[in-house]
Chain A
Amino acid sequence: MNAPDRYERFVVPEGVKKVSYERDTKIMNAATFTVEREDHTIGNIVRMQLHRDDNVLFAGYKLPHPLQYKILLRIQTTSQSSPMQAYNQAINDLDKELDHLKSQFEGELAKHTRDY
Chain B
Amino acid sequence: MQKIKDFILSIIHLNNEYTSTAMYFGLYLFMLVLMAFFARDRKYDAKRVVIPACVLLWVIYLLLPFLLVFLEFGLDEQIRARTFWTLMIPPVIAVGFTALVFEVEQGRKRFMAIIAVCLLLMASGEFKINNNVFQKAENLYKLPQELVDVCDTVLGDGREVKLIVPYETAHVFRQYSTDILLLYGEDATIQRVVQTTYEINDTCREMMSEAPDLNFVGEVARKNQVDYILFDTVYQTFGGHSLNFDGYAESPDFAGDRSATDEQKAVTADVRLYNRKGEVFWGLREFGLDYVGRFGQYMLYRYE
Asked if A and B bind, the verdict is: no
Seen from chain B, the residues whose Cβ lies within 8 Å of a Cβ on chain A are: none
